[in-house]
Chain A
Amino acid sequence: MSRLAVKGEESRLVTSFEELQCLKHIGSLSPLPHQTDTARRVLFEMSGRAILADEVGLGKTIEAGLILKEYLVRGLVSKVLILVPASLVLQWVRELNSKFGIPAIAQKKVYSWGNDIVVASMDTAKRDPHQEILLNEEYDMLIIDEAHKLKNKKTTNYQFIQKLRKKYCLLLTATPVQNDLSELFNLITLLKPGQLGRQGDFAANFVVDKRRPKNQDQLKDELAKVMIRNRRGEGPVKFTKRTVRNNLLQLSPDEQSLYDGVTSFVKDQYQASGGNLSSMLSLVTLQREVCSSRDAVFVTLVNLSKKLPEDSPLRDRIWELVHLIKAIKANTKAEKAIELIQNMNEKVIVFTEYRATQEYLLNYFRDYGLVSVPYRGGMNRGKKDWMMDLFRGKAQVMIATEAGGEGINLQFCHHMINFDLPWNPMRVEQRIGRVHRLGQSNDVKIHNLSTKGTIEEHILNLLHEKINMFEMVIGGLDVILERLEKKESIEKSLYKIMLESGTDEEIRHKLSSLGDSLHHIKEELEADSIPQQLREEEA
Chain B
Amino acid sequence: MSLTPQEIHQHVLSYLEATECQIMEKSPHHLTVKLSPQADKMLTNRPYYWGFVERTGAPAETLSFNFVFDPPAYEELLQRQTTPDTRSGTAPPPGQDPVLSRYYGSAPLLPVLGPGRVQREDIIYGSRRLAQIWDASREEGRCLYLFEEPDAEARPKTRSAALDQWLGVCFKVEFSCDLKREELHFLAISLSRKTILSGFDKQLQDRKLSPRLPEYVHTRPAVLTLSEAASMLENHLIQQLSGLDYTWANQARIRLAEELAIIDSYYEDLLQEPDEEKKSAIQEQYQNRRSEMVWQYEPKITLSALTSGLFHLYSSGSGLS
Contact = CB atoms under 8 A, between A and B. Distances in A.
Interface of A: 1-18, 24-27, 43-44, 47-48, 74-76, 101, 103, 138, 162-163, 165-168, 189, 192-195, 197-198, 200
A75 B180 contact: yes
Contact of B292 (A9, A75, A167): A167
Contact of B306 (A9, A11, A27, A198): A9
Interface in B219-265: 248, 255, 259, 262-265
A5 B184 contact: no
Contacts of B248: 17
A198 B174 contact: no
A6 B180 contact: no
B15 interface: yes
Interface stretch (B23-31, B84-92, B130-138, B147-155): B130-138
A139 to B, nearest CB: 10
A405 to B, nearest CB: 31
B180 A74 contact: yes
Which label, helix, strand, loop or mixed, suits the secondary structure of the B interface?
helix
B287 to A, nearest CB: 11
Contact of A4 (B1, B127, B134): B134
B306 A5 contact: yes
A222 to B, nearest CB: 11
Given A6-B307, A12-B131, A13-B172, 15 more contacts: A1-B18, A2-B137, A2-B138, A2-B307, A6-B170, A6-B201, A8-B11, A11-B2, A11-B3, A13-B1, A18-B179, A26-B126, A27-B125, A165-B288, A193-B262
Contacts of B204: 3
A449 to B, nearest CB: 34
Tier of interface size on chain B: 35 or more
A16 B181 CA distance: 5
Contacts of B309: 2
Contact of A47 (B125, B138, B270, B297): B297
Contacts of A16: 181
Contacts of A198: 265-266, 268-270
Most buried by B among A1, A16, A48: A1
A5 B1 contact: no
B18 A27 contact: no
A167 B11 contact: no
Given A16-B181, A18-B179, A5 B141 contact: yes
Contacts of B100: none
A193 B126 contact: no
Contacts of A194: 262-267
Nearest to B201: A6
B64 to A, nearest CB: 22
B125 A6 contact: no
B141 A2 contact: yes
Contacts of A167: 292, 295-296
Contacts of B270: 198
A467 to B, nearest CB: 43
Contacts of B264: 194
A151 B79 CA distance: 55
B15 A17 contact: no
B267 to A, nearest CB: 7
B121 interface: no
Contacts of A138: 295
A16 B180 CA distance: 8
